[in-house]
């Protein structure tokens, strides 16, 4: 009998210890539709998650677009604990249907990278598409032009601000599909890099002006 008990104890001592369970990141939802917000109103959401694993879950890093921010609260979540990724996107230069992603990097070995999405519509009275214009390198006296489509959410009266400076010449054109802002460089524009803007005056009470940045470089004339 003592021999049998000794063998049983030895067998128990030789059994390998159970492997600790790894952390596991589980989101309640990875996509949030914020419906419609006014341009300039931030789009925000807290993506709730929990750690369904057996070890501390660590949110190592978060990557977002330049007009968004994200924060993990908390960054370290114990087994069985919960947290949230708090996302905020600036809509000041956005309009129409918009989608932004947040990439979450964690120590979950089964899924170290998770992508979250924040999407919806940005309502705006007036906007330019694209929101800024680039005219590139242009020799002084040569013609260079670029255009932006003016988008309006309702009928508005639009006109150009009178003073456009020495560098740019702008015109507001009516087309079958709407208004177009056409911008050219003045024949006597100063040599060098420029960072100017064209401003539209509108009848909107919420967006009284629309400013379109215009950048480029005027080179010296060829001999």
In a domain, 36, yes or no: yes
The pLDDT of residue 223 is 61
For residue 1, is it within any domain?
no
User: Residue 26: which domain range?
Assistant: 21-123
The phi, psi pair for 145, rounded to 5°, reads: -140, 145
User: Which residue(s) pair with 148 in the sheet?
Assistant: 181
The total of structural domains in the chain comes to: 2
Do the strands 31-38 and 113-123 form a parallel or antiparallel pair, or are they unpaired? parallel
pLDDT in tens, 106-145: 999 999 999 999 999 999 999 999 999 999 999 988 888 9
DSSP per residue over 57-103, as a string? EEEEEEEE-TTEEEEEESSEE-TT-EEEEEEEE--TT--EEEEEEEE
Q: Report how far residue 93's alpha carbon sits from residue 207's, in angstroms, rounded to the nearest whole number.
A: 12
Is 4 domain-assigned? Answer: no
- 70 and 30 share one domain: yes
Query: Residue 65 falls within a domain, yes or no?
Result: yes
- Report yes or no on 96 lying in a domain: yes
d(CA 170, CA 184): 6
The reported pLDDT for the residue numbered 1 is: 54
Per-residue pLDDT at 141: 83
Whichever domain contains 172, its CATH number is 2.60.40.10
- The Cα 128–Cα 180 span in angstroms is 9
Per-residue pLDDT tens, the chain, 223 aa: give them. 554 455 455 555 555 555 668 999 999 999 999 999 999 899 999 999 999 999 999 999 999 999 999 999 999 999 999 999 999 999 988 999 999 999 999 999 999 999 999 999 999 999 999 999 999 999 988 888 999 999 998 899 999 998 778 899 999 999 998 999 999 999 889 999 999 999 999 999 888 999 999 999 999 877 6
Domain stops at, among 108, 123, 138: 123
pLDDT tens string 136-169: 999 988 888 999 999 998 899 999 998 778 899 9
Give pTM, 2 decimals.
Answer: 0.74
Question: Does 143 share its domain with 66?
Answer: no
Question: Do the domain assignments include residue 16?
Answer: no
95 & 110 share domain:
yes
- Say if residue 132 is in the same domain as residue 110: no
């Amino acid at each position: 009998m003592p021999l049998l008990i000794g063998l049983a104890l030895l067998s128990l001592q030789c059994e390998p210890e159970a492997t600790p369970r790894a952390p596991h990141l589980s989101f309640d939802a990875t996509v949030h539709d914020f419906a419609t917000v006014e341009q300039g109103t931030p789009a925000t959401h807290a993506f709730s998650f929990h750690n369904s694993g057996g070890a501390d879950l660590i949110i190592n890093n978060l990557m977002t677009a330049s007009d968004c921010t994200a924060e993990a609260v908390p960054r370290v979540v114990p087994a069985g604990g919960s947290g949230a990724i708090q996302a905020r996107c600036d809509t000041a230069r956005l309009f129409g249907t918009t989608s932004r992603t947040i990439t979450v990097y964690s120590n979950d070995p089964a899924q170290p990278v998770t992508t979250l999405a924040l999407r919806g519509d940005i309502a705006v009275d007036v906007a330019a598409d694209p929101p800024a214009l680039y005219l590139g390198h242009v020799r002084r006296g040569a013609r260079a032009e670029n255009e932006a489509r003016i988008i309006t959410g309702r009928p508005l009266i639009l006109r150009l601000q009178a003073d456009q400076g020495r560098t740019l010449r702008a015109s507001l054109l009516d087309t079958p599909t709407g208004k177009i802002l056409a911008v050219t460089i003045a024949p006597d524009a100063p040599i060098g890099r420029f960072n100017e803007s064209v401003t539209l005056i509108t009848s909107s009470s919420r967006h009284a002006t629309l400013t379109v940045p215009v950048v480029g470089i005027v080179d010296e004339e060829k001999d």
